[in-house]
Amino acid sequence: NDGYKLWLQYNYIKNETLRNTYKLQIKNLNPLGDSETIKVALNELQLGLNGMLGEAYATNSITTKEYNLIFGSKTHLAQDISIQLANEFNQINDEGFIIKSIFLKGKKQIVITAKTDIGVLYGVYHFLKLLQTNTSIEKLTIVESPKIKVRTLNHWDNLDRTVERGYSGASIWDWHRLPDYIDQRYIDYARANASIGINGTVLNNVNANALILTPPYLEKVKALSEVFRPYGIKVYLTARFSAPIEIGGLKTADPYDADVIKWWQDKAAEIYNLIPDFGGLLVKANSEGQPGPQNYDRNHVDGANMLASALESFGGIVMWRAFVYSEHDTTDRAKQAYSEFVPYDGQFKDNVLVQVKNGAIDFQPREPFHPMFGAMPKTPLMMEFQITQEYLGFSTHSIFLPKLYEETLKTDTYRKGKGSIVAKDIDGSLNDKTLTGMAGVSNIGSDINWTGNVMLQANWYGFGRLAWNPYLSSEDIADEWLRMTFSNEENFVKPIKQIMLASREAVVNYMTPFGLHHIMDTGHHYGPGPWVSNLSRPEWNPVYYHKADKQGIGFNRTATGSHATEQYAPEVANMFNNIETCPEKDLLWFHHVPWDYKLKDGNTLWDGMALKYQEGVNQVETMVKTWNTMKPYVDAQRFREIQTLLNIQYKEATWWRDACLLYFQQFSEKPLPKGVEKPTKTLEYFQSLKFPFAPGN
Ligand code: BDP
């Protein structure tokens, strides 16, 4: 098993009693309607049931027999069925679904239905999941709707097929062979995404190349959109703000210039002529050298609204990123997005989503939630999580990210009193926002197992599940993913779930405990580099973030420091400002703390830090040991690959521990406490390491 099939393994159910029960309960497939989407749903059911039950299912019109599996949208339902589902239909939205056991003329049947065919397809995947996770289908009443409207993957894929921050091979988009050659991967990609409710994909990098908007590329994009359409997946592209100059022959890209406005309007018309359901544009502007409205003394609203106007009449949206920071602001990078965006609350057009990273710096192993969440009641904010592990060890480290996503989503912003959690801003319920979204920076590449490490398929999966429902628990996500991907054996699921759930805290411990951040090595961000101080912009250097000196360590963002805490609601600001109430997990994010500061457990900060680094290493050791006992439950290939990767992770966790402790020890001038292993190499050795082969150089 090479892992290509992801969580759609559809393994034969070995438990005979269970298998036979399912066979009794599913006798015949009754598709209603003949759209492409219904055909896809039927294919998937046949594939899944055939695999799991060893039965080739035929289709039939509804017979007088029991246990038909009837699936189709509301308009195709016979009246004696739809009447029984009236209540459920009132509860779902256009992408929601109903799965219900009903009686029809005294015979028991299962119905999967929805207001749209896409809803039906989501229901079919959910139904298959019930079998994959060995759940009873005896008495079903399942009513589900996605809580978030725009659920996208962001591919940071370049047109030359390199992937920015990609650690699993090349881009899966084969621009050379498109539009005529449709790789099977595109179809399997669509299946996987539809199975978890992802309904959009941004095909190219936010550091955009304007060529994607030229006719030859748009033909290729159209071909992909046709593959994805039956699966409910819209394509989106990134827009380079200077495209009117680069490919349009104009002299300016000023959003107030009449020719520029017209150029974008014509471009939108051209795109929609090819792709009538094109999703819209994602824009990184005035950030890290990308052009934007500020080049013309305009602001983010000017830029976003100009594009939004061009897309509006076609139903398209603009996702305007809030990941901005400039070299001119020297106080605190963490404050810049809030300062640049919050004053414009309420000024963006209705079809603009402002896309905000989960934290104010950049996808660190742990960050406090971004202060923009909750702070723009009149502007829809779209969550941006990173699925690829730029700052979390790349694809060799098995980190279960839904734990991180969940932490952010469940954090209380207090913006409308207690209980104003981030998830409520994202799903719109906090301020009655109608346009809502969540984006995940993809970890997908051309590797046979898609993500470079089978364990990281769980992060793609988990992102999709949380975009569907941001209130899900990461534990439930891990549970279902393990059962679908590997096995339902409790002796496997229980221990592996435990190590998955612990893995996020482990990486925080062995990389950046107590709120440390951005101490990865230069450029590529591979491995520790807390000593790096020679990059041209101060805020690119790790020393800018940890500020270690003889007195202590940490970034003072309180009222005596950068004042970043003031960007939070008073309750939250007060909590962070006071070193006593600041959660220890965020301590060094907000405070510069003396080395002998007493932590809650009685240890000094230095001892506590050293012990955390050691704990991280110990946690990975437990992961390795636990996995090593799983051979009976996992096929040879996946067992060996994951084992090898965990061994690498262990080696790198010790590297992180040793390098960071030796470096910080120069400032603390204190010995390592009992229980912390002695470093195997010198600081000079760690500092001399170079990685010309690290992706992202
Ligand atoms: C940073 C990455 C950079 C991205 C940037 C972004 O290092 O490659 O282009 O984020 O999100 O984390 O735009």
Q: Find the CATH number of the domain harbouring 31.
A: 3.30.379.10
Point out the domain boundary residue: 144, 174, 189: 144
Q: How confident is the model at residue 64 (pLDDT cuts 50, 70, 90)?
A: low
Which residue carries 């520029």 as its tokens?
A: 260
Q: What are phi and psi of 460, to 5 degrees?
A: -65, -50
Please tell me whether residues 273 and 422 are part of one structural domain. Answer: yes
Ligand 1: nearest atom to the Cα of 525: 7
Q: What is the pLDDT of residues 226-248, one digit of tens each?
A: 999 999 999 999 999 999 999 99
Which CATH number goes with the domain that contains 611? 3.90.1330.10
Q: Is residue 363 within 6 Å of ligand 1 at its C-beta? A: yes
Please tell me whether residues 117 and 155 are part of one structural domain. Answer: no
Q: What is the pLDDT of residues 499-550, one digit of tens each?
A: 999 999 999 999 999 999 999 998 999 999 999 999 888 888 999 999 999 9
Alpha carbon nearest to ligand 1 atom 10, residue: 362
Q: Is residue 404 situated within a structural domain?
A: yes
Active-site residues, by number, are 288, 362, 390
Q: How confident is the model at residue 354 (pLDDT cuts 50, 70, 90)?
A: very high
Point out the domain boundary residue: 129, 144, 159: 144
Ligand 1: nearest atom to the Cα of 205: 9
CA separation (Å) from 333 to 47, 54, 547, 679? 51, 57, 14, 33
Contact 380, 352 (CB under 8 A): yes
**How far apart, in whole angstroms, are the C-alpha atoms of residue 113 and residue 82?**
9
Using the predicted structure, report yes or no on whether residue 110 has a pLDDT greater than 70: yes
Which CATH number goes with the domain that contains 453? 3.20.20.80
Q: What is the pLDDT of residues 461-470, one digit of tens each?
A: 999 999 999 9
Q: Is residue 323 within 6 Å of ligand 1 at its C-beta? A: yes
Q: Is residue 207 situated within a structural domain?
A: yes
Rounded to 10°, the helix 636-668/605-628 angle is 170
Rounded to 10°, the helix 36-53/16-25 angle is 150
> Among candidates 480, 528, 470, which has minimal Cα distance to 500?
480
Contact 132, 483 (CB under 8 A): yes
Q: Is residue 284 within 6 Å of ligand 1 at its C-beta? A: yes
Distance 363 CA to ligand 1 centre (A): 9
**How far apart, in whole angstroms, are the C-alpha atoms of residue 644 and residue 695?**
20
Q: Is residue 390 within 6 Å of ligand 1 at its C-beta? A: yes
> Among candidates 510, 526, 513, which has minimal Cα distance to 689?
526
Q: How confident is the model at residue 473 (pLDDT cuts 50, 70, 90)?
A: very high
Q: Is residue 206 within 6 Å of ligand 1 at its C-beta? A: yes
Using the predicted structure, report yes or no on whether residue 156 has a pLDDT greater than 90: yes
Please tell me whether residues 413 and 288 are part of one structural domain. Answer: yes
Q: Given the DSSP bridges, would you call strands 97-104 and 107-114 parallel, antiparallel or unpaired?
A: antiparallel
Q: Say if residue 530 is preceded by a cis peptide, omega within 30 of 0.
A: no
260 half-sphere exposure, CB direction, 13 A CA radius:
22
pLDDT of residue 123: 99
Give how many domains the chain has, as a whole number.
Answer: 3
Q: What is the pLDDT of residues 180-234, one digit of tens each?
A: 999 999 999 999 999 999 999 999 999 999 999 999 999 999 999 999 999 999 9
Q: Is residue 165 within 6 Å of ligand 1 at its C-beta? A: yes
pLDDT of residue 62: 65
Please tell me whether residues 87 and 158 are part of one structural domain. Answer: no
User: What is the residue type of 154?
Assistant: N
Please tell me whether residues 376 and 463 are part of one structural domain. Answer: yes
Please tell me whether residues 636 and 663 are part of one structural domain. Answer: yes
Using the predicted structure, report yes or no on whether residue 326 has a pLDDT greater than 80: no
Q: Which secondary structure element, helix H or strand E, spans residue 381, and what is its range?
A: strand 381-386
Please tell me whether residues 384 and 336 are part of one structural domain. Answer: yes
**How far apart, in whole angstroms, are the C-alpha atoms of residue 623 and residue 477?**
19
State mean pLDDT over 124-152: 98
Percent of the chain at pLDDT > 70 equals 99
CA separation (Å) from 96 to 195, 468, 570? 13, 10, 38
Length of the chain counted residue by residue: 697
Q: Using most ligand atoms within 8 A of CB, pick from 205, 241, 323 the residue to mutate for ligand 1.
A: 323
Q: Using most ligand atoms within 8 A of CB, pick from 157, 165, 441, 545 the residue to mutate for ligand 1.
A: 165
Alpha carbon nearest to ligand 1 atom 9, residue: 207
Distance 154 CA to ligand 1 centre (A): 12
Q: What is the pLDDT of residues 8-48, one digit of tens each?
A: 999 999 999 999 999 999 999 999 999 999 999 999 999 99
Q: Which domain holds residue 364?
A: 150-485
299-313, 468-482, 526-540: segment of lowest average pLDDT = 526-540
Please tell me whether residues 99 and 198 are part of one structural domain. Answer: no
Distance 533 CA to ligand 1 centre (A): 19
Q: Given the DSSP bridges, would you call strands 150-154 and 437-441 parallel, antiparallel or unpaired?
A: parallel
pLDDT of residue 697: 75
Q: Summarize the chain as % helix, strand, coil (round to 5).
A: 45, 10, 45
Please tell me whether residues 119 and 243 are part of one structural domain. Answer: no
Q: Which secondary structure element, helix H or strand E, spans residue 619, and what is its range?
A: helix 605-628
**How far apart, in whole angstroms, are the C-alpha atoms of residue 669 and residue 680?**
19
**How far apart, in whole angstroms, are the C-alpha atoms of residue 78 and residue 433?**
36
Which residue carries 């989960």 as its tokens?
A: 358
360 half-sphere exposure, CB direction, 13 A CA radius:
26
Q: What is the pLDDT of residues 588-607, one digit of tens each?
A: 999 999 999 999 999 999 99
pLDDT of residue 439: 99
State mean pLDDT over 387-414: 98
Q: Is residue 500 situated within a structural domain?
A: no
Distance 539 CA to ligand 1 centre (A): 14
- CA torsion, ordered 237, 241, 246, 248, to nearest 10 deg: 80
Q: Angle at the Cα of 606 (from 600 to 610), degrees rounded to 5?
A: 95
pTM: 0.98
State mean pLDDT over 120-147: 98
Contact 476, 22 (CB under 8 A): no
Contact 657, 617 (CB under 8 A): yes
Distance 165 CA to ligand 1 centre (A): 8
Q: Is residue 137 situated within a structural domain?
A: yes
Q: Is residue 518 situated within a structural domain?
A: yes
SS (H, E, C) 29-90: EEECCCCHHHHHHHHHHHHHHHHHHCCCCCECCCCCCCCEEEEEEHHHCCHHHHHHHHHHHH
**How far apart, in whole angstroms, are the C-alpha atoms of residue 203 and residue 428?**
26
Q: Is residue 362 within 6 Å of ligand 1 at its C-beta? A: yes
In the DSSP assignment, the letter for residue 44 is H
pLDDT of residue 329: 73
> Among candidates 594, 599, 595, 572, which has minimal Cα distance to 584?
599
User: Quick check: helix, strand or coil at residue 143?
Assistant: strand
User: Quick check: helix, strand or coil at residue 520?
Assistant: strand
Q: Is residue 2 situated within a structural domain?
A: no
- CA torsion, ordered 123, 127, 132, 135, to nearest 10 deg: 130
Point out the domain boundary residue: 450, 485, 520: 485
Please tell me whether residues 118 and 160 are part of one structural domain. Answer: no
Please tell me whether residues 347 and 474 are part of one structural domain. Answer: yes
Mean pLDDT, rounded, of the chain: 97
State mean pLDDT over 614-638: 98
**How far apart, in whole angstroms, are the C-alpha atoms of residue 283 and residue 300?**
10
Please tell me whether residues 131 and 269 are part of one structural domain. Answer: no
Q: Is residue 572 situated within a structural domain?
A: no
State the burial class of residue 477 (Cβ atoms within 10 Å of its Cβ: 0-12, 13-18, 19+). buried
Write the DSSP string, 537-606: SGGGSHHHHH---SSEES---STTTT-GGGGS-HHHHHHHHSTTTS-GGGHHHH--EETTPBPTTS-BHH
Q: Is residue 503 situated within a structural domain?
A: no
State mean pLDDT over 428-449: 98
Q: What are phi and psi of 639, to 5 degrees?
A: -60, -50
